[in-house]
Amino acid sequence: MDGIVVGVDRSAAAAGALEWALEEGVRRGSKVTALCAWTDLATAGYPLGGVLVTDPAQVERLARETAEELLKEATGTVAGADGIETGVAALRGAAAAVLAEMSRTADLVVVGTRSASALSRAVLGSVSSSLLHHAASPVVVVPEPRAAGTRPPRVVVGVDHSPESKVALQWAADAAARRGWPLVPVFVREATFDEVTADLSLAELEDHERAALRSAVGTFEGVVEPEVLTGHAGEQLLEMVEPQDLLVVGSRGRGGFTGLLLGSTSTSVAQHAVCPVAVLPRGVQA
């Protein structure tokens, strides 16, 4: 199954994810599939609105009907969504596992995450967290909608010197080109005592890094606004974004990605960002 797959249920977080997925589908001209996962528990539960059922066939039917209803509602609110191919899927299994399996053939998987309370912001939802660690395709985690900031939207991407970082940069450049937004590649370096006291050398180093970031963008013809910052990678990236932005980070998975290790910075960014976050797993191509 190619195209965009988005996990849906009746939560506000999932509604935001579905709208984002449809908007992205319009930009790409891609099919969007709304997936409602189900289990054969006696209570269909939250994804189906708490309807009490005992027959697995009925649970599957209700899951499909839920996906169809939510997709129809969202299609009516997203400009251009009625002009792309859409579909629904109701698959048996835990949502994270089902989405991870579908990521093997999808171009992109989209999920929502709750962000209204301190508790939900402290711990990334179990579906999103598990999916980030097991997906084969890029995953976009969409927080619950909030008021946009005052400046125009932009695509911000965390960059280091790894091969995975180059893929993330290209993916971000493509996303910026589709939107007509500025691309902001961000290199975050840790401060050391010697560098802090050598202001001139530090300034020269930052100028060199900005030039390298511009060069790394390659054939991207849009506006490029490279940033070189000092501090903790996750904190600096979070400070760079507003709700209307898209933040892109890469991951080597376990044991890699200096400063952007999934399980630390990438997960932290997905937990706390006020904007959608795209996480590219190891081995994915832009």
Q: How many CB atoms lie within 10 A of CB 282?
A: 16
Whether 164 contacts 257, CB under 8 Å: yes
Q: Which amino acid is at 58?
A: Q
16/69 same-domain check: yes
User: Domain limits at 185?
Assistant: 155-280
Range among 28-32, 148-152, 191-195 with highest mean pLDDT value: 28-32
Question: What does pLDDT average to over the chain?
Answer: 84
Q: Do 103 and 186 belong together in one domain?
A: no
Mean pLDDT throughout 223-236? Answer: 90
Same domain flag for 131 and 169: no
Query: What pLDDT score was predicted for residue 39?
Result: 82
pLDDT greater at residue 170 or residue 43: 170
Q: Residue 129: pLDDT band by 50, 70, 90 thresholds?
A: confident
One domain, residues 133 and 26: yes
Cα-based distances in Å from 108 to 100, 246, 251 = 11, 14, 16
Do residue 162 and residue 133 come from a single domain?
no
Express each pLDDT in 138-159 by its tens digit. Answer: 999 999 888 888 899 999 999 9
Taking alpha carbons only, the member of 21, 27, 26, 28 closest to residue 5 is: 21
Task: For residue 73, give every residue at least 6 positions away whose Cβ sits within 8 Å of its Cβ, in sequence order, or none.
Answer: none
Q: What pLDDT score does 160 carry?
A: 84
CB atoms within 10 A of CB 60: 18
- Of the segments 120-129, 153-162, 195-204, 210-219, which one has the largest average pLDDT value? 153-162
Confidence band (pLDDT; 50, 70, 90) for 79? very high
279 Cβ partners below 8 Å, 6+ apart?
132, 138, 139, 140, 141, 249, 250, 251, 262, 266, 270
- Whether 17 and 45 map to the same domain: the answer is yes
- What number of other Cβ atoms are within 10 A of residue 254's Cβ? 11
Q: Say what the pLDDT of residue 20 is.
A: 98
Question: How would residue 261 be classed by pLDDT, with cut points 50, 70 and 90?
Answer: very low
Mark which of 89, 115, 143 sits at the end of a domain.
Answer: 143
Number of structural domains found in the chain? 2
> Over the stretch 35-67, which tens digit does the pLDDT of each residue have?
999 886 644 444 555 566 667 888 899 999 999
Residue 176 has pLDDT above 60, yes or no: yes
Q: For residues 204 and 113, state if they share a domain.
A: no
Q: What is the pLDDT of residue 122?
A: 37
Structure tokens belonging to residue 14: 């999932």
| In a shared domain, residues 121 and 207 | no
115, 143, 171 - which closes a domain: 143
Query: Do residue 106 and residue 66 come from a single domain?
Result: yes
As beta bridge partners, residue 35 has: 7, 89
Looking at the fold, whether 70 and 113 belong to one and the same domain comes out as: yes
DSSP string, 187-211: EEE---HHHHH-HHHHHHHHHHHHH
Q: What is the pLDDT of residue 249?
A: 92
Question: Rounded distance, CA 201 to CA 211, Å?
Answer: 15
- Higher pLDDT: 251 or 78? It is 78
Strands (E), the chain: 4-7, 32-38, 86-92, 108-113, 139-143, 155-159, 183-189, 227-230, 246-250, 277-280
Structure letter (DSSP) for residue 281: P
| Per-residue pLDDT at 191 exceeds 70 | no
Provide mean pLDDT across the span 221-248: 92
Least confident range of 48-52, 75-79, 208-212: 48-52
